[in-house]
Structure 1
Amino acid sequence: MMKRTRIVKLLIVFLIALSISYQVDDGNSQANAAPQTPSQAYVQKMGKGWNVFNTYDSFRTDDLALSDETSWGQPQVTQELILSAKAKGFDSIRIPMTAYTRYTLGADGHYVIHSEWLAKYKQVVDWAVDADLYVMINLHHDSWTWLSNWDGNKASEEYKRYVDLWRQLANHFKNEPEQVMFETMNEPYFENDTGTITKQDKLDMINQAAYDVIRSSGGNNATRMIVIPTYSTSADMDKANASYHFIAGLNDPNLIATVHFYSDWVFSGNLGRTGFDEKLYDGVQDTPRSNIDQMFNTVNHALISKGIGVVIGEYGCYPLMMARRKCSQVKNGNILNI
């Protein structure tokens, strides 16, 4: 069921960069008066973005020979597709990539992504670079297919696999220009706390591991933008605050935070709530509009106002005409009019 839900979500996702010029509801203009930090300036340049969904993040376990970008029904990614996105006005592109089913454990005990798959993925990245798009590279469904079971022990296979995969990705893309960025993991979450090691601790540990690997890998990775997800890419205040403290602790100006937002699934998935000002659940006052307002205010308070650039890596509404009309009303164009 989880896999099916995630597939449906990815059918409707888009990417947008939040700029520092966002106006909060309480009239606080300090964020606007402060000079932009490197991550905020970078995020503004990203402009409108698009996820190349259900392609390089798709996979099959029943027949690995068929586990390519067409696994979940999408056509092969072509250069024409990338150029079409650019022609439609997109400035950035997120290319989700799932390594699961596409790596092997070598005799030396290290995990290696299949070279043919990685070369194919890199070709798409280079097409996007050639089209003058900003490009986000990540590990995607690896978050729930195997990493979510990690017990917090750095000697465990999940941690070693994660480090090996990022070591290979960092090395493979280290000479890409600065418009290419790395996102450490899509929607990271863990099944349980492990003793005194909390789920947030585990996220901090894997983000630290990817950060260390990327920064030490040479080439342009010494200053490349690294996108740090909140826990489960949630826009809740506690998750955003935790992300800020982790990022601030690294004392690195080239770090971006990311959250995802679907404005409550009963609305985004058109599951019985279709009005933008309709109460989401019986007995509560929350509406899609009020929750979107709350999300923007949260990320502004916890991150943007403190100098951290923010990217909403996924958001969307079920692609019906009514959902399209409602999405177009969100924050006066801060979200794409779909």
Structure 2
Amino acid sequence: MHRSPLRKVRRRTGPRLAGFASLLLAITGMLLPATAHATAGAPAAAGPMRFLAAMQPGWGLSNTFDAIPDPTSWGNPPVTKALIDQVRSDGFHSIRIPVTWGGHEGAAPSYTIDPAFMNQVKQAVDWSLSDGLYVVLDVHHDSWQWISNMAGDPTGVLARFDATWTQIADTFKAESDKLVFESVNEPQFTNTTDTQAEALLDQLNTAFSHLIRATGSTNTHRYLLLPTLGDTPTKPLMDSLLNTIETLHDPDVIASFHYYGYWPFAVNIAGATTFDTTAQQDMTTDYQLAHDEFITKGIPVCACEVGLLGYDYTKPGVIERGETLKYFEALGDESRSTGIPTDYWDSYINRATLQPRDPDLFAQIQSSWRASSGTASSDMVFLPQASPIAAHSLTLNLNGDTFTGLTQGDVRLAQGRDYTVSGDQLTLTASLLTRLAGNGPTGPNATLQAHFSHGLPWQISVIVSSQPTLAAATGSTSSFAVPTRFNGDILSTMQAQYADGSNAGPANWTSYLEYSTAFAADYANGNTTLTSAFFDSLTDGAKVTLTFHFWSGATATYYVTKNGTAVTGTTS
């Protein structure tokens, strides 16, 4: 997903006013009736805003009922009540249940949904509601499987869409009004201009709204979730959705968008390795836009899928650890400050053990629901193995907090002797670093904790490293690895250029290639792997210069040449 161009940036300094706290205060005062949306600048309506606040935070039951062809096809076990109970115990207040219905439907014209599959979905919904969770139920990968063909077959797609939602609506019409229906996930349409696609989505969302209301019972006033085109948070697309919602004159509608980060940072491409002011401002801009577009008019809006595009527990290292923590801390802050509920696309809970896959990351996510946490410019301090150790400074990102001290585990370190603080500069003294890692082996030697007035402490790893070294190798375009002695260092990114200085690789608009897509570090086996996708993009017979960048600031140069399917790698 390509994010928008670089924007003017501003530093995030702390919570803003229009958050959940102010929403909850607002709904206790003089308000508009819940039966009509407020106009721009007027107080938000009580019902929608109260409903919105109660949904925060949310969790997505991903890669299950949306999996193709069956709920266990993508590696997750069947849903259990114990899982739903754990979600509630972890502090989530809502659960989004994505469902891909198409593979479980019969033939036209009825498109009958397999009763056994429908019962599985209903069981998960009922377990969630019985736990007091709000539930969002959608039509998911159908968006690209068959709904995307609407421009070429409007009658056929609408007939199937109506048949699908009629069955869902009838099945769930007596359920609690804590159940929300979402028309379609990330809608997209083939062979259309943006204007044509927006018109098709308006038609689809309008048909969905009228259909659900006509099925009666709780569906007459159930909240309906309507997405922007692609669930993309841009002003033109939000304007289009706003027009649809205002035309419906339906007070029980929630707008939706998704957020997975500023794209270069979110996948580690183009040298965007840190959650810097550009990446921060991208998040702030999109959340504030959604707030101004909808919430100020009394229309609820949900960030109904959020995550970090390049983060995956199966692919560690794509986004550096500390930068990942900063990103998720900021997501919680944006949610609180704008009053927009955040629904995390799940990759955090191990479905087999019901425990967090990464307890520290999950703790940061949970902490962000309550308060901002201080961070620092890095969570790593690199010390050269064979050189005298000097003092090292980090810039504190206070995020509205106050720095309160530095510890090593249970030991409180002494200001003046072990560290100094001047403004936002935390300096670790040479004597402290020598004591922690002097003559230590390469790799992490100690962990420090910077404490703040709110939130979690910031972990700082003290790492001893020396210059990474590479070795010559041969292989093929489908299997090639650069023998690498990392010597305690950590790979950040890789550049690829031809001899004339032009960029090489799949994304030849930048010399800095995408982590995992073009290259990846294999610390366990002492290799840096280069992918077939990288070699497929190279000019045959041309020598390519690779520059590996490491988090210590070190670089290492390597050369590869592809001849047919054979690859040669050298250090000169």
Normalised by the size of structure 1, how large is the TM-score?
0.81
**Structure 1 residues 101, 187: closer, same or farther in 2, change over 3 A?**
same
Q: What is residue 114 of structure 1 aligned with on the other side? A: 114
Q: Deviations over 1:147-196 (max 9, x none)?
A: 111126542x22211110000001110000010000000000111238x9
Letter of the structure 2 residue corresponding to residue 129 of structure 1: L
- Give the Cα separation in 2 of the matches to 1:311 and 1:20: 16
- Give the Cα separation in 1 of the matches to 2:132 and 2:91: 12
Q: Deviations over 1:18-77 (max 9, x none)?
A: 85948xxxxxxx9897143422221111010000010000013xxxxxx2x111111111
- Give the Cα separation in 2 of the matches to 1:229 and 1:239: 9
Pairing 1:218–2:227 present: no
Alpha-carbon distance, 1:208 to partner? 1.0
- Give the Cα separation in 1 of the matches to 2:285 and 2:89: 33
Q: What is residue 296 of structure 1 aligned with on the other side? A: 287
- Give the Cα separation in 2 of the matches to 1:101 and 1:331: 34
Q: What is residue 333 of structure 1 aligned with on the other side? A: 333
Alpha-carbon distance, 1:332 to partner? 5.8
CA contact (8 A) 1:59 1:98 kept: yes
Question: What pairs with 1:119-198 in structure 2 (closer than 5 Å)?
Answer: 119-151=119-151, 154-155=154-155, 157-193=156-192, 198=196
Q: Deviations over 1:92-114 (max 9, x none)?
A: 000000012110015xx221111
Question: What pairs with 1:1-338 in structure 2 (closer than 5 Å)?
Answer: 19=20, 21=22, 34-60=43-69, 67=70, 69-105=71-107, 109-151=109-151, 154-155=154-155, 157-193=156-192, 198-271=196-269, 273-277=272-276, 287-317=278-308, 318-319=311-312, 321-330=321-330, 333-335=333-335, 337-338=364-365
Q: Deviations over 1:2-29 (max 9, x none)?
A: xxxxxxxxxxxxxxxx85948xxxxxxx
Tell me the secondary structure at the aligned position of residue 198 of structure 1: helix
Q: Which runs of 5+ in 1 are unaligned?
A: 2-17, 23-29, 61-66, 279-286
CA contact (8 A) 2:41 2:297 kept: no
- Give the Cα separation in 2 of the matches to 1:210 and 1:137: 13
CA contact (8 A) 2:125 2:135 kept: yes
Tell me the secondary structure at the aligned position of residue 51 of structure 2: helix
- Give the Cα separation in 2 of the matches to 1:197 and 1:154: 16
- Give the Cα separation in 1 of the matches to 2:97 and 2:118: 13
Question: What is the total number of aligned residue pairs between the two structures?
Answer: 296
Q: Deviations over 1:107-153 (max 9, x none)?
A: xx221111110001100000000010000000000001111111265
Alpha-carbon distance, 1:267 to partner? 2.0
**Structure 1 residues 40, 192: closer, same or farther in 2, change over 3 A?**
farther
Q: What is residue 14 of structure 1 aligned with on the other side? A: none
CA contact (8 A) 2:262 2:283 kept: no
Normalised by the size of structure 2, how large is the TM-score?
0.49
Tell me the secondary structure at the aligned position of residue 103 of structure 2: coil
Alpha-carbon distance, 1:305 to partner? 1.1
Q: Which runs of 5+ in 2 are unaligned?
A: 2-18, 24-38, 336-341, 343-363, 366-572
- Give the Cα separation in 2 of the matches to 1:327 and 1:164: 41
- Give the Cα separation in 2 of the matches to 1:105 and 1:332: 44
CA contact (8 A) 2:183 2:208 kept: yes
- Give the Cα separation in 2 of the matches to 1:264 and 1:20: 27
- Give the Cα separation in 1 of the matches to 2:58 and 2:122: 19
**Structure 1 residues 332, 72: closer, same or farther in 2, change over 3 A?**
closer
* Higher RCO (CA-CA < 8 Å; seq separation 6+): 1
Alpha-carbon distance, 1:265 to partner? 2.9
CA contact (8 A) 2:42 2:297 kept: no
- Give the Cα separation in 1 of the matches to 2:158 and 2:44: 38
Q: What is residue 64 of structure 1 aligned with on the other side? A: none
Q: What is residue 283 of structure 1 aligned with on the other side? A: none
Higher percent of residues as strand: 2
- Give the Cα separation in 1 of the matches to 2:286 and 2:138: 23
Tell me the secondary structure at the aligned position of residue 212 of structure 1: helix
- Give the Cα separation in 1 of the matches to 2:283 and 2:81: 35
Letter of the structure 1 residue corresponding to residue 325 of structure 2: R
CA contact (8 A) 1:20 1:309 kept: no
**Structure 1 residues 302, 70: closer, same or farther in 2, change over 3 A?**
same
- Give the Cα separation in 2 of the matches to 1:239 and 1:20: 28
- Give the Cα separation in 2 of the matches to 1:228 and 1:41: 18
Letter of the structure 2 residue corresponding to residue 325 of structure 1: L
Letter of the structure 2 residue corresponding to residue 265 of structure 1: W
Alpha-carbon distance, 1:298 to partner? 1.0
Letter of the structure 2 residue corresponding to residue 199 of structure 1: A
Alpha-carbon distance, 1:300 to partner? 1.8
- Give the Cα separation in 2 of the matches to 1:324 and 1:154: 42
Alpha-carbon distance, 1:242 to partner? 0.9
Higher percent of residues as helix: 1
Letter of the structure 1 residue corresponding to residue 115 of structure 2: S
CA contact (8 A) 2:44 2:295 kept: no
- Give the Cα separation in 1 of the matches to 2:264 and 2:222: 38
Alpha-carbon distance, 1:266 to partner? 2.7
**Structure 1 residues 172, 258: closer, same or farther in 2, change over 3 A?**
same
**Structure 1 residues 292, 197: closer, same or farther in 2, change over 3 A?**
closer
